[in-house]
Amino acid sequence: MNKIISFLAVIMGVLCLTSSVFAAGGANADASAKIQTAIAVVKYTETVTNGDLGFGVIVPGTATIVTVSTASVRSKDTGTAALLGNAYGAATFMIYGSPDATYTVTKPSVAITVTNGSQTMAVDNWTSTSDTYQNGIGQCGAEGQSSFLIGGSLHVGASQAVGQYTGEFTVSVAYN
Protein backbone atom coordinates (compact mmCIF):
# COMPACT_ATOMS: atom_id res chain seq x y z
CA MET A 1 0.00 0.00 0.00
CA ASN A 2 2.88 2.35 0.79
CA LYS A 3 4.26 1.77 -2.72
CA ILE A 4 0.91 2.74 -4.22
CA ILE A 5 0.71 5.85 -2.06
CA SER A 6 4.31 6.77 -2.95
CA PHE A 7 3.59 6.16 -6.62
CA LEU A 8 0.48 8.34 -6.45
CA ALA A 9 2.43 11.07 -4.64
CA VAL A 10 5.04 11.06 -7.41
CA ILE A 11 2.35 11.27 -10.08
CA MET A 12 0.62 14.11 -8.24
CA GLY A 13 3.97 15.91 -8.03
CA VAL A 14 4.49 15.50 -11.78
CA LEU A 15 0.95 16.70 -12.48
CA CYS A 16 1.47 19.75 -10.26
CA LEU A 17 4.75 20.46 -12.02
CA THR A 18 3.05 20.16 -15.39
CA SER A 19 0.23 22.50 -14.32
CA SER A 20 2.60 25.13 -13.00
CA VAL A 21 4.65 25.06 -16.21
CA PHE A 22 1.58 25.75 -18.30
CA ALA A 23 0.28 28.40 -15.88
CA ALA A 24 3.58 30.30 -15.78
CA GLY A 25 2.77 32.75 -18.54
CA GLY A 26 3.53 33.50 -22.15
CA ALA A 27 5.72 30.59 -23.15
CA ASN A 28 4.35 27.16 -23.85
CA ALA A 29 6.33 24.24 -22.58
CA ASP A 30 5.72 20.58 -22.20
CA ALA A 31 6.82 18.59 -19.21
CA SER A 32 6.81 14.85 -19.26
CA ALA A 33 8.12 12.05 -17.12
CA LYS A 34 8.15 8.32 -17.51
CA ILE A 35 7.41 6.64 -14.20
CA GLN A 36 7.80 2.89 -14.25
CA THR A 37 6.27 1.08 -11.34
CA ALA A 38 7.88 -1.93 -9.75
CA ILE A 39 6.73 -5.19 -11.21
CA ALA A 40 5.02 -7.57 -8.82
CA VAL A 41 4.30 -11.26 -9.26
CA VAL A 42 1.76 -12.94 -7.02
CA LYS A 43 0.29 -16.41 -6.93
CA TYR A 44 -3.30 -16.38 -8.17
CA THR A 45 -5.10 -18.39 -5.50
CA GLU A 46 -8.56 -18.73 -7.00
CA THR A 47 -7.88 -22.07 -8.69
CA VAL A 48 -8.56 -25.70 -7.79
CA THR A 49 -4.95 -25.98 -6.53
CA ASN A 50 -4.91 -22.57 -4.78
CA GLY A 51 -2.52 -21.32 -7.47
CA ASP A 52 0.04 -24.07 -6.82
CA LEU A 53 1.35 -26.63 -9.28
CA GLY A 54 -0.71 -29.64 -8.21
CA PHE A 55 -0.43 -33.19 -9.50
CA GLY A 56 -3.53 -34.46 -7.71
CA VAL A 57 -4.07 -37.86 -6.14
CA ILE A 58 -1.76 -40.55 -7.48
CA VAL A 59 -1.93 -44.22 -6.51
CA PRO A 60 1.57 -45.64 -7.01
CA GLY A 61 2.33 -48.68 -9.12
CA THR A 62 5.40 -48.95 -11.30
CA ALA A 63 7.60 -45.89 -11.78
CA THR A 64 5.53 -43.24 -13.55
CA ILE A 65 6.08 -39.68 -14.74
CA VAL A 66 2.99 -37.53 -14.20
CA THR A 67 2.88 -34.27 -16.15
CA VAL A 68 0.63 -31.25 -15.66
CA SER A 69 0.68 -28.93 -18.67
CA THR A 70 0.22 -25.16 -18.64
CA ALA A 71 -3.33 -25.88 -19.81
CA SER A 72 -3.83 -27.88 -16.55
CA VAL A 73 -4.07 -31.16 -18.45
CA ARG A 74 -2.70 -34.09 -16.44
CA SER A 75 -1.15 -37.09 -18.17
CA LYS A 76 1.26 -39.92 -17.43
CA ASP A 77 3.83 -41.97 -19.28
CA THR A 78 3.59 -45.75 -19.53
CA GLY A 79 3.84 -46.39 -15.77
CA THR A 80 0.97 -48.05 -13.92
CA ALA A 81 0.24 -45.37 -11.30
CA ALA A 82 -3.44 -44.44 -11.23
CA LEU A 83 -4.44 -40.75 -11.48
CA LEU A 84 -7.52 -39.96 -9.39
CA GLY A 85 -9.68 -36.91 -8.69
CA ASN A 86 -9.65 -33.49 -10.27
CA ALA A 87 -7.61 -31.41 -7.78
CA TYR A 88 -4.64 -30.80 -10.08
CA GLY A 89 -3.50 -27.92 -12.23
CA ALA A 90 -0.74 -25.61 -13.38
CA ALA A 91 0.69 -22.97 -11.02
CA THR A 92 -0.93 -19.63 -11.81
CA PHE A 93 0.70 -16.24 -11.35
CA MET A 94 -0.54 -12.69 -11.86
CA ILE A 95 1.77 -9.86 -12.91
CA TYR A 96 1.11 -6.27 -11.88
CA GLY A 97 3.30 -3.64 -13.50
CA SER A 98 3.37 -0.71 -15.85
CA PRO A 99 0.71 -0.56 -18.56
CA ASP A 100 1.90 -2.11 -21.84
CA ALA A 101 5.33 -2.96 -20.35
CA THR A 102 7.10 -6.02 -21.73
CA TYR A 103 8.60 -8.64 -19.44
CA THR A 104 10.43 -11.94 -19.39
CA VAL A 105 9.59 -14.88 -17.12
CA THR A 106 12.38 -17.05 -15.71
CA LYS A 107 11.19 -20.48 -14.66
CA PRO A 108 13.20 -23.16 -12.86
CA SER A 109 15.93 -24.71 -14.98
CA VAL A 110 16.66 -27.69 -12.73
CA ALA A 111 14.64 -30.28 -10.86
CA ILE A 112 13.32 -29.57 -7.40
CA THR A 113 12.60 -32.14 -4.71
CA VAL A 114 9.20 -32.52 -3.11
CA THR A 115 9.20 -34.25 0.25
CA ASN A 116 7.01 -36.11 2.69
CA GLY A 117 9.19 -36.63 5.73
CA SER A 118 12.20 -38.55 4.42
CA GLN A 119 10.40 -39.63 1.23
CA THR A 120 11.13 -37.65 -1.94
CA MET A 121 10.15 -37.22 -5.57
CA ALA A 122 11.59 -34.94 -8.26
CA VAL A 123 9.75 -32.32 -10.31
CA ASP A 124 11.32 -31.16 -13.58
CA ASN A 125 10.60 -30.52 -17.26
CA TRP A 126 9.22 -27.08 -16.43
CA THR A 127 6.94 -25.39 -18.94
CA SER A 128 5.47 -21.91 -18.96
CA THR A 129 2.86 -20.15 -21.01
CA SER A 130 5.64 -17.58 -21.47
CA ASP A 131 7.41 -20.18 -23.63
CA THR A 132 4.82 -19.42 -26.33
CA TYR A 133 5.33 -15.64 -26.27
CA GLN A 134 7.15 -14.18 -29.27
CA ASN A 135 10.86 -14.35 -28.35
CA GLY A 136 9.75 -15.32 -24.83
CA ILE A 137 8.59 -11.77 -24.13
CA GLY A 138 5.19 -11.11 -22.53
CA GLN A 139 3.36 -7.82 -22.30
CA CYS A 140 1.19 -6.30 -19.61
CA GLY A 141 -2.17 -5.05 -20.81
CA ALA A 142 -3.31 -1.45 -20.80
CA GLU A 143 -4.24 -1.85 -17.13
CA GLY A 144 -0.72 -3.11 -16.26
CA GLN A 145 -1.73 -6.73 -15.65
CA SER A 146 -0.88 -10.07 -17.18
CA SER A 147 -0.62 -13.69 -16.09
CA PHE A 148 1.33 -16.85 -16.78
CA LEU A 149 1.11 -20.51 -15.83
CA ILE A 150 3.81 -23.05 -14.94
CA GLY A 151 3.58 -26.80 -15.54
CA GLY A 152 6.00 -29.63 -14.86
CA SER A 153 6.58 -33.36 -14.48
CA LEU A 154 6.57 -35.38 -11.25
CA HIS A 155 8.67 -38.56 -11.06
CA VAL A 156 6.72 -41.09 -9.00
CA GLY A 157 8.81 -44.06 -7.89
CA ALA A 158 7.70 -47.68 -8.02
CA SER A 159 5.62 -48.26 -4.88
CA GLN A 160 6.18 -44.64 -3.81
CA ALA A 161 5.32 -44.11 -0.13
CA VAL A 162 1.89 -42.55 0.34
CA GLY A 163 1.54 -39.09 1.83
CA GLN A 164 1.33 -35.39 1.08
CA TYR A 165 4.49 -34.24 -0.77
CA THR A 166 5.38 -30.56 -0.85
CA GLY A 167 8.18 -28.39 -2.17
CA GLU A 168 8.88 -24.95 -3.54
CA PHE A 169 10.11 -23.53 -6.80
CA THR A 170 10.95 -19.99 -7.78
CA VAL A 171 9.89 -17.99 -10.81
CA SER A 172 10.91 -14.43 -11.52
CA VAL A 173 9.71 -11.71 -13.84
CA ALA A 174 11.74 -8.77 -15.08
CA TYR A 175 11.01 -5.83 -17.33
CA ASN A 176 12.78 -5.85 -20.68
Q: Is the pLDDT of residue 172 over 80?
A: yes
169 lies in the same domain as 82: yes
Q: State how far Cα 139 lies from the chain centre.
A: 13
pLDDT at res. 132: 82
pLDDT at res. 38: 62
Tell me the CA end-to-end span of the chain in Å, nearest whole number. Answer: 25
Query: What tens digit of pLDDT does each residue of 77-136 get?
Result: 989 999 998 989 999 999 999 999 999 999 999 999 999 999 999 999 999 998 888 888
Q: Give the domain extent around 58.
A: 39-175
Residue 76 amino acid letter: K
The phi, psi pair for 51, rounded to 5°, reads: 85, -5
67 lies in the same domain as 138: yes
44 lies in the same domain as 24: no
Q: What is the CA radius of gyration of the chain?
A: 23
pLDDT at res. 99: 92
101 lies in the same domain as 171: yes
31 lies in the same domain as 85: no
54 lies in the same domain as 135: yes
Query: What tens digit of pLDDT does each residue of 9-40 get?
Result: 332 333 222 222 333 334 444 443 444 456 66
Rounded Cα–Cα distance for residues 175 and 8 (Å): 21
20 lies in the same domain as 43: no
30 lies in the same domain as 48: no
- Total domain count, the chain: 2
pLDDT at res. 151: 95
Q: Is the pLDDT of residue 5 over 50?
A: no
